[in-house]
Amino acid sequence: MIELRDVSYGYKSDLVLDKINFEEEDPIITCLWGRNGAGKTTLMKLLAGLNQPQSGDISVMGMAPYNNQEARRNICFIQENQPFNPDWKVRDTIEIAKGFHPNWRKETEEQLLKLFKLPLNKKIKALSKGMKTSLQLVIGLASHAQVTILDEPTNGLDAVVRKQLFKVMLESYENHPRHILLSTHHINEIQPLCESIAVIHNHKILFHQSIDDLRSRGILLTGDQKVINELTENMNILEKENLGHMCRVMIDDLYTEEWKRTSNKYNVTIEKADLQDYLINITNDTEEVLA
Ligand code: ADP
């Protein structure tokens, strides 16, 4: 479905993506996570055919997307600040978008318009940030493009609307499976939706795996420093905070029943680390966390 092979891209002398390999064969909802500036938008623009890789190959539904109208009929890319014409009305913007997407579903369009209560007769320049995000989502999801790429799709949406949106998105995906790639720098906002996750860091894909497997990684231990030092000897410590003779550490391991039993035995408090904190820590290149 989508494939990047040894793809590199940079701006002038700044390398952003260095020989990236990434592949999804089947319809799936994937989260692309990375810190600000990691290269998520750059990767998405390459996949959407807006930019040409400086080396390597990209294939979307078997076609190289750059400068390829046929390949781009399978793709809907919605950027974080989509450059809509500010003088168009919401209604016209949707009509024009329809023309680019042969799989457009009226049913999804209507469901989302109802959910977001978008004012169809308002001009783009009169929309709030949340309304613009909503319009982007109407187009992205109603397009039913085989490869739907949404850059930071939930920015500006409140928690209630976000929850309803996820319901519509999952329903639409289950009825019409396709590849949906969502980027975020905050995993907690979109993780209920995603089946797989790719983390982009230091110009590479650090890992690409099932999100269920990732959810069980990262343990927080709080207790006596000496005991914790012994328990975590030879472990990958992601974060450490000393509190008098006590300390709290985050370790890179699976949150298992065995760990719970061990902690109980040694009177150490154990918690599952928050997924976002875990990702921040594994992409933290400074040494001070280990001090
Ligand atoms: P992300 O989406 O993960 O926040 P981007 O792909 O937007 O990251 O940016 C990756 C890097 O490329 C950043 O350092 C950013 O400043 C730089 N960059 C992005 N677009 C351009 C551009 N048009 N010209 C020069 N540098 C850019």
> Looking at the chain, how many residues does it have?
291
User: Is residue 66 classed exposed, middle or buried when 0-12, 13-18 and 19+ CB atoms within 10 A define those classes?
Assistant: middle
245 & 185 share domain:
no
Residue nearest to atom 23 of ligand 1 (CA): 11
Domains identified in the chain, total number: 2
86 & 196 share domain:
yes
Asked if the structure places residue 289 within a domain, the reply is: no
Cβ pair 81, 153 in contact under 8 A: no
Residue 20 in contact with ligand 1 by CB distance below 6 A: no
pLDDT at 291: 36
pLDDT at 151: 94
Residue 202 in contact with ligand 1 by CB distance below 6 A: no
Q: Which residues of the chain have pLDDT under 70?
A: 287-291
pLDDT at 125: 94
Q: For residues 74 and 232, give the distance between their C-alpha atoms in angstroms, rounded to a whole number.
A: 49
109 & 242 share domain:
no
81 & 144 share domain:
yes
Asked if the structure places residue 28 within a domain, the reply is: yes
Q: For residues 178 and 140, give the distance between their C-alpha atoms in angstroms, rounded to a whole number.
A: 12
pLDDT at 290: 43
188 & 230 share domain:
no
pLDDT at 287: 55
Residue 40 in contact with ligand 1 by CB distance below 6 A: yes
Measured in Å, residue 135 CA sits from the centre of ligand 1 at 24
Asked if the structure places residue 290 within a domain, the reply is: no
The span from the first CA to the last CA of the chain, in angstroms, equals 44
What sign has the CA pseudo-torsion 99, 105, 108, 111?
A: positive
Range of the domain at 226: 217-282
pLDDT at 106: 94
268 & 203 share domain:
no
Cβ pair 90, 122 in contact under 8 A: yes
106 & 246 share domain:
no
What does pTM read for this prediction?
0.92
188 & 111 share domain:
yes
Residue nearest to atom 26 of ligand 1 (CA): 11
Locate the ligand 1 atom nearest the alpha carbon of residue 36 and give its number: 4
Q: Which of 170, 193, 214 is the last residue of a domain?
A: 214
159 & 55 share domain:
yes
- Coil, strand, or helix at residue 214? helix
pLDDT at 197: 96
Looking at residue 263, which CATH number applies to its domain? 3.30.70
Looking at residue 51, which CATH number applies to its domain? 3.40.50.300
Residue 36 in contact with ligand 1 by CB distance below 6 A: yes
